[in-house]
Structure 1
Amino acid sequence: MNGIDDVALNFDAGNLKLLNVILAVVMFSIALDLRMDDFRRILRGPKPLLVGLASQFLVLPALTFLMLLVVNPLPSVAMGLILVAACPGGNISNFMTHRAGGNVALSVSMTAFATVGAIIITPANVALWGNLYAPTREILQRTEIDPVAVAITVSFMLILPLILGMLVNARFTAVADKIRCPMQWLSMAIFITFILVALAANWGIFQHFATAIIGIVILHNALAFMGGYLAATAANLSERDRRSVTIETGIQNSGLGLILIFAFFGGLGGMAVAAALWGIWHAISGLALAAFFARREVPECATS
């Protein structure tokens, strides 16, 4: 992997702005399914939500740290994995939870709460685990990460569309009902197309470095799914809730990770390649896991 940090991905400012817009559209489409009653219901029985958030923001970063101690990858690759683990759940997790027969309301609520919490928790987790792991400490020391700038980035890209989508759903219900399904499918198609185009534009770089990194990414993603399922099982959640927490923990917002890498880490090669591979792989593994769950009937006593 010599020279990975010297490579420059074909991902300019225009592409970065386009990715911002795409993620905002995806978040808006997800928010069209949200109502304030959803949050009130979750808050009346918050245990699954709290377990899910703990799995995402505590269990996954801790498992990432332990994995890095064992595998000892290139520091920039390790930093990329730490950043991905610090991001909130990916928006496609809601679609995959539905396919898996999980609790979609819990999944959407986790995405919403994690997105809001990411304003503080994402930069805090990056700073904590990045400094605890010695090889990545130097990267953080030479990188100026402004927590306020991170908060503004997350707010405009994720939280503002979340609020707008909920407002449309509340004030213009008929419109929301008409555009909800088409918007969700369209936003997913646009996001996948963007990833494929970006991959094609950087195919030579991925061919050269992906084989050395993909194994680490697959292991990391598997640990994320495993950590989510074990945390939900240990908390004695229902099977439907376990599926939601598992998928929400294993599907990370790697798109947000890429934006933060290019905005605050200068597009550091190892970080960018690791996050991009995560974005591709977790879509494949998530769909496979959803199909596996879908074949297993949820027990009647575990549908609450």
Structure 2
Amino acid sequence: MRETQDVLIPIAIAIIMWGIGLNLTFKSFKRVFVQPKAILTGLSLQLIMLPAIGFLIASVWDLDPAYKVGIVLIAACPGGTASNLVAHILNGRVALSISLTAFNSFLILFTIPLITSGAMKVFMQSDQEVPLSFWRTFWNIGFTVIFPVLIGLLMRNYFSGFADKLKPYLRFVLPGILLVVFLVVGLDSVGGESASSLGNKLVIAIPLLLLNIGTILIGYWIAAQFGINPDGRFTIAIEMGLQNSALAIFIGSQIIQNSQVVLVAIIYSSFSFFTTLGVGYGLSRRDKQP
């Protein structure tokens, strides 16, 4: 069963990114790099500000040390496919969202081990290191994000009639696929102690909700201070608020091997897609008001 999921989940994510790619053009990405202020701002916020906020919340909240590490781990895992899809649903700058995903997926090879190992030392007095494989990460981001988007992009530019016919259906199909992925990952990860303690540990949902909504609003405000235009600033806000829960679950279960750390990521994944979508929608509507 586990081996089947390891194959089907990446394929499902790749289908989502292919569908998003169908709505893009080469001009969309040209804007990102010709005017790099938005992507540089987004990367700085994701890789520096987010973990700092995670550390702050973990430090002041009265929680078990392992839960504190889980909060920091979530904050250290920048948004992936889910944030790309939310940007797509809300008509944000999808090319910016995907570019942020592509860049931070390589940069986290250095930031996650440093940040998470530091959190374990501070909160759990543990010197355990958190290694990430370069080639595994390279393959994952290539197979699930870059190549599918490129295929969709090429189809959009060279077979635009076919792409236009698919687009109305994909707007409903893609979110459904992502929700199934969240469900499968979450159910597969809940077991043993995590499953039995889930009802008693929902108190950690409060700081996680604060992390989610707080970072969305902070990201939006800072992007506005840097003069990022409205569609860029709420896209950055989405990237700030919606973290890569699947990656956090993997690190917590396979590398740190702590069910309490995994539980934090599971709880975060259970609501963050919906809250980010809702707050992001509110910000996008605010920007459209005269």
Verify the 8 A CA contact 2:22 2:152 in the aligned structure 1: yes
Distance 1:75 1:39 in 2: 42
Q: Structure 1 residue 87 and structure 2 residue 77: aligned? A: yes
Secondary structure of 1:19's aligned partner: helix
Q: State how many pairs are aligned.
A: 284
Q: Structure 1 residue 238 and structure 2 residue 226: aligned? A: no
Aligned to 1:138: 126
Deviations 1:191-232 (A, max 9, x none): 213434665675954643541321221121123213212311
Equivalent residues in 2 for 1:148-297 (5 A)? 148-196=135-183, 202=190, 204-205=195-196, 207-262=198-253, 264-266=255-257, 268-293=258-283, 296=286
Larger relative contact order (Cα-Cα within 8 Å, sequence gap ≥ 6): 1
Aligned to 2:97: 111
Shift in CA distance, 165/79, structure 1 to aligned 2, threshold 3 Å: farther
Verify the 8 A CA contact 1:206 1:273 in the aligned structure 2: no
Shift in CA distance, 160/263, structure 1 to aligned 2, threshold 3 Å: farther
Shift in CA distance, 29/52, structure 1 to aligned 2, threshold 3 Å: same
Distance apart, 1:176 and its partner CA:
1.9
Shift in CA distance, 156/296, structure 1 to aligned 2, threshold 3 Å: closer
Secondary structure of 1:225's aligned partner: helix
Where structure 1 has 5 or more consecutive residues not aligned to the other structure, the ranges are 1-10
Equivalent residues in 2 for 1:21-36 (5 A)? 21-36=11-26
Shift in CA distance, 299/208, structure 1 to aligned 2, threshold 3 Å: closer
Distance apart, 1:72 and its partner CA:
6.0
Quick one: which amino acid aligns to residue 152 of structure 2? G
Shift in CA distance, 281/184, structure 1 to aligned 2, threshold 3 Å: same
Verify the 8 A CA contact 2:22 2:167 in the aligned structure 1: yes
Verify the 8 A CA contact 1:76 1:139 in the aligned structure 2: no
Distance 2:123 2:184 in 1: 32
Q: Structure 1 residue 19 and structure 2 residue 9: aligned? A: yes
Shift in CA distance, 168/239, structure 1 to aligned 2, threshold 3 Å: closer
How large is the RMSD of aligned CA atoms in angstroms? 3.0
Quick one: which amino acid aligns to residue 54 of structure 1? S
Verify the 8 A CA contact 1:88 1:111 in the aligned structure 2: no
Distance apart, 1:278 and its partner CA:
1.6
Quick one: which amino acid aligns to residue 212 of structure 1? V
Query: Could you tell me the TM-score, scaled by structure 1's length?
Result: 0.79
Quick one: which amino acid aligns to residue 232 of structure 1? A
Identity %: 23
Where structure 2 has 5 or more consecutive residues not aligned to the other structure, the ranges are none
Verify the 8 A CA contact 2:19 2:174 in the aligned structure 1: yes
Distance apart, 1:286 and its partner CA:
1.7
Distance 1:89 1:32 in 2: 21
Quick one: which amino acid aligns to residue 216 of structure 2? F
Distance 2:282 2:239 in 1: 16
Aligned to 1:67: 57
Distance apart, 1:28 and its partner CA:
1.6
Structure 2 residue aligned with 1:56, among 46, 49, 71?
46
Quick one: which amino acid aligns to residue 260 of structure 2? G
Shift in CA distance, 215/77, structure 1 to aligned 2, threshold 3 Å: same
Mean Cα displacement is larger for which, 257-266 or 175-184?
Answer: 257-266
Deviations 1:15-43 (A, max 9, x none): 34332222222222112222211111232
